[in-house]
Structure 1
Amino acid sequence: MTKVDVVRAEMVKAMKAGDKERKNALSMLLSALKNATIDKRSDLTEEEADVIVRKEIKQTQETLDTTPAERTEIIEECKFRIAVYEEFVPKMMEADAIEAVIKETLAELGIDAPTVKDKGKIMKVLMPKVKGKADGKLVNQLLSGMFV
């Protein structure tokens, strides 16, 4: 089953259960996935679908961050949508797992004491290993913390 099929099945369950908020959140996610499929003109791969879901999470988080505190109904809706969307993406790597991949990459490149000059070379090898599994900002922060 593709991600679109899974989201559609969950939306049908929510409709049958009478869970209007969940149905609305899933409907928005399904719409984003369908639009990406139309834009690509073929079915999405699992990784591409995960990217779309993460993009929706990020956009909803940005809405949440910019919403004034007195708009509690919008804040609650955004938090609920993020919780629903997170059901459909694999868990992101934790900091210690990312550090292990960074150390593995440094060993692979033969770099004992990384410097800022090595950053481009390290990131070029490192990012394909963690793409879609780890937050790029966190990877960058952890790598920058290792510079001599």
Structure 2
Amino acid sequence: MSTLKDRLRADLVTAIKSHDEVRSSTIRMVLTAITNAEVAGKEARELSDDDVIGVLSSEAKKRREAATAFEEGDRAAMAEKERAEAAVIADYLPEALSDEDVAAIVTAAIEQTSSAGEGMKAMGKVMGIVTPQVKGRADGAAVAAEVRRQLGA
């Protein structure tokens, strides 16, 4: 049983009781996304906390991208709404890694796989080690860019 999912449900009740519209609608949306992930595929399953963090990460990324798109379209009110939702989701995600932390993890993974001189051929090996360590705590595109930079591509 996912304790993070239980926390979301409890926080939803609290948000509804305190009439916090942004928080309650965002948590409802996230719980719906979690339920959809649970019933996706051939067999329904209960998501672990790691899986829930994955869903939360993708929802947060959607909000950031939507806020940027609204900003570019001169729709500041909608962009602000998306940012507010992203802030609510961020409360449930693990602490984000700094650029220095990501660089250190990538460096350690390159040393661990002995991939220093292999260039882009080693990208898959290094990402395979780095991805589980940064899941939900760093943007995947930024991590891939750091791996490319350190591999010298």
The TM-score with structure 2 as length reference comes to 0.81
The equivalent residue for 2:69 is: 66
Cα displacement (A) at 1:76: 1.8
Larger Rg, first or second structure (1 or 2): 1
Segments of structure 1 that go 5 or more residues without pairing to the other structure are: none
Segments of structure 2 that go 5 or more residues without pairing to the other structure are: none
The equivalent residue for 1:51 is: 54
For the structure 1 residues 129 and 5, does the alpha-carbon distance in structure 2 shift closer, same or farther, using more than 3 Å as the test?
Answer: closer
Cα displacement (A) at 1:81: 0.4
The equivalent residue for 2:23 is: 22
For the structure 1 residues 113 and 44, does the alpha-carbon distance in structure 2 shift closer, same or farther, using more than 3 Å as the test?
Answer: same
The equivalent residue for 1:13 is: 14
> Aligned-pair RMSD on alpha carbons?
2.1
SS at structure 1 position matched to 2:151: coil
SS at structure 2 position matched to 1:43: coil
Would you say how many aligned residue pairs link Structure 1 and Structure 2? 147
SS at structure 1 position matched to 2:97: coil
1:116–1:147 contact (8 Å) kept in structure 2 = yes
Cα displacement (A) at 1:20: 1.9
The TM-score with structure 1 as length reference comes to 0.84
Cα displacement (A) at 1:110: 2.9
